Each structure stands twice: as structure tokens, then as C-alpha cells.
């Protein structure tokens, strides 16, 4: 999650600054790192987006909800109505 977030932010910065070579290298390095056996099964990558396959349990913190790359679309045990209103 931290690797995906750091790569996403560096890519975003590089593109905003016109540094396409840095953006390309960032994506290539992140892709290579995610092939490592300890990281390859940790989540699903779609371009710069990343969704974890495990839970960090942030939803258990009062008012926490789900994190930005959560494996859940809403906190476990909540109904869609309760989550939206």
C-alpha cells in the first residue's frame, strides 16, 4: 500500500512538472517491485490504482471508515444505507 501510494504521488508530481522520464521510471520501478514474491499477492494494481487484498482494520477506529485502497467498498457490518447516510 505504501509502495503504491508513493509511486502514485511521485508519478503525479512528475507529470505535473513535465518530467515524463521520471514518471515512466517510477511506474517501471513500482511494477518491478510488485513482481517480488512478498509483494505480488498483496493487491490488485490497475495503472496507478491499487486495491489491497487484506484489511488494515482502519474501519474499526471510531469514525475510521475504509482506507483509500481498502479491500472493502464499505466497512464490514454496515449496510449501504448506513454507510451513505
pTM of the model: 0.64
For the chain, give the mean pLDDT.
85
Distance in angstroms (rounded) separating the CA atoms of residues 33 and 58:
25
Please choose, from the candidates 71, 66, 7, 65, the residue with its C-alpha nearest in 3D space to the C-alpha of residue 42: 71
- pLDDT class of 85 with cuts at 50, 70, 90: very low
Cell numbers of 13, please?
508530481
The ranges assigned to domains in the chain are: 1-51, 55-85
Amino acid at each position: 500500500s505504501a509502495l503504491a501510494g508513493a509511486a502514485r504521488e511521485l508519478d503525479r508530481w512528475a507529470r505535473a512538472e513535465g518530467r515524463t522520464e521520471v514518471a515512466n521510471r517510477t511506474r517501471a520501478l513500482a511494477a518491478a517491485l510488485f513482481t517480488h514474491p512478498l509483494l505480488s499477492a498483496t493487491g490488485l494494481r490497475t495503472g496507478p490504482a491499487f486495491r489491497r487484498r487484506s484489511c488494515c482494520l482502519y474501519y474499526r477506529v471510531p469514525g475510521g471508515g475504509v482506507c483509500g485502497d481498502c479491500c472493502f467498498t464499505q466497512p464490514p457490518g454496515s449496510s449501504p444505507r448506513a454507510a451513505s447516510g
